[in-house]
Structure 1
Amino acid sequence: MAKLLYSGTISTDGFLAGPGGDMSWATEHLGPNPEVDALIDRIGALLVGRRTFGGDDPHRGTDKEGKPFGGGWSGPQFVLTHHAPPASPPGITFVGDLAGAVEAAKAAAGDKYVNVLGASVARQCLDAGLLDEIFVCVAPVMLGDGVRLFDHPGGTRVKLERIGLTELPHVTNMWLRVV
């Protein structure tokens, strides 16, 4: 059965994207990462938030733009949105509710991961008790503002267990299990 994994590159102060959803800061931190390369082979489907799907891309202006993991992964994508366009691009399914999106993505992923992309959809998965693991690449930069990895006004404690830690020159990888 597929597990839900939230992944992304974050700044040291916990931001996935800078102000206005800017992802250009991440470009210099996307260097070789054997752990990410190994993870890509273990992903069976993506569950993507609408803002992430249509948002900024750290590969903007290159031939990797608009492709998951810069073109390193291909497969079924499920976009959680209340405003689906009239036609879907090939391989993209727009789903209007979290339960339906998770069910469809898990079915498509088989025994591989459903990789969750987007802070809002990840928070919704956490709130619903659906998220199994988190993988973050922590970049040595502070953005000061933007979209946080996890933001829950009023506060919510989420207990995590570290299951992996790898230091590379351009990022530190942390693999965590949601307890």
Structure 2
Amino acid sequence: MSRMLYSATMSLDGFIAGPGGDMSWLTPYLGPDPAVDGLIGEIGALLIGNRSLRGDDPHRGDPDKEGKAFGGGWEGPQFVLTHRTPDEPVPGVTFVNDLDEAVKASKEAAGGRYVNIIGADVARQCIGAGVLDEVFVCVAPVMLGDGVRLFDEPGGSTVRLERVALSETPHATALRLRVVR
């Protein structure tokens, strides 16, 4: 059965995007990483937020990587959770306006592999619905001071996690965590 995994790279102070969704901060930290490469090989489908799909790209300006999942390192079915479906279809992307429907469809498409969640708001919704199974986060050696947090829920709720793996490269420290239920 497919499991739901939220992955992101964040700054040491907890931001996955800078102010206004800026992702250019990430570019210097996109070096080779065996943990990330291993994760990419485990992904069967993506569940993405609309802002992430249409947002800034840390690979901007690189025609071989820009606009591609994991900079072109992954291909497969993509599901975008949104209430604003575009007028024109996007090849390889299915737009869904209901979280339960998006989770079900992405799990079916993943074929027993992980559904990788991209986007803080979608991850927050999955946490709230109790469907998130794991978190994979790379901590980059930088502090942004402002932007989009990895997990932000004013008034908050505690999500207990258990470390599954830890690895390091010169670019980041990768943590793989399981949601404790």
Question: TM-score, with normalisation over the residues of structure 2?
Answer: 0.98
Number of equivalences: 179
Give yes or no for the alignment of 1:28 onto 2:28: yes
2:7 corresponding residue in structure 1:
7
Aligned to 2:107: 106
After TM superposition, what 4+ stretches of structure 1 lie above 4 angstroms from structure 2? none
Partner of 2:18: 18
Which whole-Å CA distance do the structure 2 matches of 1:33 and 1:109 have between them?
23
Distance in 2 of aligned mates of 1:100 and 1:88: 19
Listed as ranges, the matches of 1:23-62 within 5 Å are 23-62=23-62
Counterpart of 1:141 in structure 2 is 142
Distance in 1 between residues matched to 2:119 and 2:89, nearest whole Å? 19
Could you say what the CA RMSD is over the residues aligned between the two structures, in angstroms? Answer: 0.6
5+ residue gaps, structure 1: none
Q: Distance in 2 between matches of 1:119 and 1:75?
A: 21
1:159 aligns with 2:160: yes
Take 1:78 and 1:88, find their aligned partners in 2: how far apart are those partners? Answer: 12
Opposite residue 44 of structure 1, the aligned amino acid is G
With 34-43 and 120-129 compared, the bigger mean Cα shift is at 34-43
The C-alpha deviation readout for 1:59-117, integer Å capped at 9, x for no partner, is: 01111110000000000000000010123211100000000000000000011000000
Identical residues among aligned pairs (%): 68
Offset from partner CA, 1:14-43 (integer Å, 9 cap, x none)? 100000000000000010001111111110
> What is the distance in 1 between the residues matched to 2:101 and 2:88?
19
